[in-house]
Amino acid sequence: MLIRISSTKFVLEWITESLASLYGIEELIYSGRTKYQRVDILRTRDFGVVLLLDGLLQSSEEDEFIYHEILVHPAMVAHPKPRRVLIIGGGEGATAREVERYRDVEEIEMVDLDGELIEIVKKYLPWGREGFEDPRLRLVIAEGRGYLSKQPDGYYDVIIMDATDPSEESLAIQLYTREFYELAFRKLNDQGIIVTHAAPLLIKDAIVASVQKTIASVFPRTCIYASYVKSLEAMWSFVAGSKGVLPSDLRGHEVDRRIEERGVRGLRFYSGEVHDAILMLTKHYRRNFKPEGRIYSDEMFSKARDERDKTLNLPP
């Protein structure tokens, strides 16, 4: 929501029904709609250039690297030998950029529903171009769950979920259900890892608990970690599910060793020290906040999904 106070424009973004953030705009760089969502790219006073989808801030020039490094690297470092990586979502290109830092990765597939958004990102986001330039990247414009269902079982080493937030009205809610994680489980190999962002750890803790509980209903092992992201004004959480090793199994010295061995260069935030810190901090927060999660299923969201698909003319 754009509002004006005196001669200054602000974005008012509701985080919950009673909690909101407010930040000032210096310039409107782009505003329009794709087939699936409204897209705004703004220059702000506090966060630099920002990307908003349907009025919600997704990423900022100031600190996008924190979010994307924490999403990608714990799972990539934990896997013993990641060669084939699937990204679902990640339309701004930064998730692919982080995966591309691993010289031994052979195949990177990025599947995003909104091809129009990707073209907008390439044109207007200063950090949104680099990830699309690596020859290992295969970009597919498709719905992620449908695409994954057509791939060979046991094919991927790591699946990275960078879709929009898990909410009933979200385009991406079918990427957070037990049935989706069962599909992902089949498509991962014996040491496979899936990681997804979830929600603000302390503000929407019931959602975070539900995402973990849903993944845990399919994968034998899970863990949660979180890091503060200034532009998101929250401790943003990430949940990993694994058939083998988890990020939480590694200590900082092992993380640093693997980063060096795998030729990862250009990190601005993630390190062994940060790895230990985000796990320990999350553990202490969750000790005091223990919401009851629920297992998300397709059936829970079927009515909302059918109405959405009908509106967008998506196939069943």
Catalytic center residues? 162
For 238-262, b/e burial (b = at least 16 CB within 10 A) is bbbbbebbbbbebeeeebbebbeeb
Q: What is d(CA 239, CA 296) in angstroms, rounded to the nearest whole number?
A: 14
In degrees, to the nearest 5, what angle opens at C-alpha 129 toward C-alphas 88 and 42?
A: 90
Q: Hey, how many other C-beta atoms are within 10 angstroms of the C-beta on 140?
A: 13
For 64-90, b/e burial (b = at least 16 CB within 10 A) is bbbbbbbbbbbbbbbbeebebbbbbbb
Contact 294, 213 (CB under 8 A): yes
Q: What is d(CA 276, CA 230) in angstroms, rounded to the nearest whole number?
A: 20
Q: What is d(CA 32, CA 39) in angstroms, rounded to the nearest whole number?
A: 5
Gyration radius of the chain over CA positions: 19
Return the structure tokens found at 226: 């979180």
Q: DSSP secondary structure string, 278-316? A: HHHHHHHHHHH--PPP----TGGGHHHHHHHHHHHT---
In degrees, to the nearest 5, what angle opens at C-alpha 155 toward C-alphas 142 and 242?
A: 100
Residue ranges in 48-204 assigned as alpha helix (H): 64-78, 94-99, 115-124, 144-149, 178-187
Residue 297: exposure state from Cβ atoms within 10 A (0-12, 13-18, ≥19) = middle
